[in-house]
Amino acid sequence: MIPLLTLLGCAGERPATLGATDGRLGTCPDSPNCVSSFETRDSHRIAPLQATLGQVRMAVSGMSGARIIEERELYLYAEFTSHLMGFVDDVEFLAEPAAGLVHVRSASRLGHSDLGVNRKRIEDLRGLLGTP
């Protein structure tokens, strides 16, 4: 079964709900495989990044498995693909320049639990940016 999954990949379909609406990124599903700086639930909440979108782009570009898919003035979307099974996570960034913040949403495309991968990715990115 594992060789078959490896051959087929675990990319799934790119969600149609990506992007910002009314100055916010989408909400996380109930499953524990998503974090967002717009979330109010502790299980899904993560602090926004204290950075510019340009700084985030540079840091993401150097991260393992990352591929920037879309970039607009205040928005950046990247896919992160795991090396072993080819699982794809969708990671979005929305700049709030007046506050010096970049909001973030990182979510797994498939499965229920991500074993904390999305939260760790954003915290690793925070470390690369050298910000709290």
The domains found in the chain, sorted by start residue, are: 31-129 (3.30.310)
- Interatomic CA distance for residues 111 and 59, integer angstroms: 27
Beta bridge partners of 71: 76
Query: pLDDT tens digits, residue range 95-114?
Result: 999 999 999 999 999 888 87
> Has residue 1 got a pLDDT over 60?
no
Cβ-based neighbour number of residue 111 at 10 Å: 12
> Has residue 7 got a pLDDT over 80?
no
What is the residue type of 59?
A
Element spanning 35, H or E: strand 34-36
> Has residue 4 got a pLDDT over 50?
no
- Interatomic CA distance for residues 86 and 63, integer angstroms: 16
> Has residue 24 got a pLDDT over 70?
yes
Q: What is the pLDDT of residue 132?
A: 79
Q: Which tokens is 75 given?
A: 């928005």
> Has residue 66 got a pLDDT over 50?
yes
| pTM for this model (two decimals) | 0.89
How would residue 9 be classed by pLDDT, with cut points 50, 70 and 90?
Answer: low
